[in-house]
Amino acid sequence: MRITISGLPGSGTTSLARYIAGKYGLEFISAGEVFRRLAREHDMDLAEFGRLAESDPSVDRMIDTRQKEIGEASEKIVVEGRLSGRMIENADLRVWLAASLECRAKRIAGRDEMDEEGALAYTRGRQHSEVTRYLAYYDIDIGDLSMYDLVLSSETFGVDALASIVDVAIECLKRQGSLI
C-alpha cells in the first residue's frame, strides 16, 4: 500500500501521515523533514533555505527525486510532502489536506514558536516561494487538485476525523481489491 499525503504548509499532513504509518505499519517519509534537515545542515532558517532553493533548482530536485525513488520502490509506505501525490506515480491513494492561510499560520506559530503575525507573513512567503518553484521547475500548478483521490479540510476536521475518513477509504480500496 502506497499512500501520499499532500497539502500546503501547516495543513496537518505530517500528523495524518504519521497516524496512517503507525496504524498500518507503513514506512514514513516526509519531504518537509528532509527540507528542514537540509536547512539546518546549511545553517539557514527555512525562509533562507527556501530562497536558496529558488535560486538553485538542485535543492528541490534532490529532495523530490529521492522521495520519488523511495516512495515508488517501497510497497508499504506513506509519503508526506507537497508534491508526493504528483511524484509517486504508483500511489494507491492520494490525499490532499486543505486549510485557510490564517488557520495554517496559526498552527505554524504554535509549533515553530512564532507570533501569529510573523507566522502569517512567513507562511505566505513560503507558499509563494514553493508555488513559484514548482511552476518553474516542473510546470506544476499546485492549485490543481484533480489527481487527488481525497481532498479534505483539515480546518473543518481534526486529525482523528481525517484519519477516520482515510481509514474508510483504505477499507474501500481493500474490498475492491486495489490494496493488499
pLDDT one-digit tens code per residue, 136-172: 889 999 999 999 999 999 999 999 999 999 999 999 9
Whole-angstrom Cα distance, residue 87 to residue 79?
10
pLDDT over threshold 80, residue 180:
no
57, 60, 84: which is closest to 70 by C-alpha?
84
pLDDT one-digit tens code per residue, 31-88: 877 778 788 888 998 888 888 887 888 888 888 888 888 889 999 999 999 999 999 9
Q: Residue ranges per domain, the chain?
A: 2-175
Whole-angstrom Cα distance, residue 128 to residue 110?
21
State pTM to two decimals: 0.86
Strand ranges, E, within the chain: 2-7, 27-30, 77-80, 93-98, 150-153
Residue type, 37: R
The yes/no answer on whether domain 2-175 falls in CATH 3.40.50.300 is yes
